[in-house]
């Protein structure tokens, strides 16, 4: 583990996950929600009406943060921990992967 300077926090082992098709650095002990945020977008999914949603309760209760993880839609990003090689996709509606920009 690596200590973050000045904060007394330790970060887990570096791993690589794929977020919306792009290899992205993540750290063991982090949630899928953190990996999505680190990828540069706070949303984890869009509603059927196209409104973005993301973390709300942060503890597995509200299901606002669902994403597609390793092909499984409806996975709560806030209570699912990253692992090396995990494939994470933002979710569109009840289960489809969000279309790539321009696609």
**Residue (of 35, 31, 49) closest to 92 by Cα position:** 49
Stretch that binds ligand FES, among 10-18, 49-57, 82-90, 91-99 (CB under 6 A): 49-57
Rule CB under 6 A: choose which of 14, 25, 42, 61 binds ligand FES: 61
Place of tokens 């992967």: 97
How far from each other are the two terminal CA atoms of the chain, in whole angstroms? 39
Q: How far is the CB of 80 from ligand FES (least distance, A)?
A: 9
Stretch that binds ligand FES, among 8-16, 57-65, 80-88, 92-100 (CB under 6 A): 57-65
Specify the 3-state DSSP secondary structure of 66: strand
Dist CA 5 CA 15 (whole Å):
20
Q: Which residues bind ligand FES (CB under 6 A)?
A: 55-58, 60-65, 76, 78
């Amino acid at each position: 583990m690596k200590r973050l300077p000045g904060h007394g926090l330790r970060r887990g082992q570096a791993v690589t996950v794929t977020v919306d098709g792009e290899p992205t650095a993540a750290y063991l002990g982090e949630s899928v929600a953190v990996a999505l945020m680190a990828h540069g977008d706070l949303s984890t999914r869009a509603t059927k009406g196209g409104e973005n949603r993301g973390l709300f309760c942060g503890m597995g209760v509200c299901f606002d943060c669902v994403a597609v993880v390793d092909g499984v839609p409806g996975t709560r990003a806030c209570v699912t921990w990253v692992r090396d090689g995990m494939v994470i996709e933002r979710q569109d509606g009840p289960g489809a992967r969000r279309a790539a920009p321009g696609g």
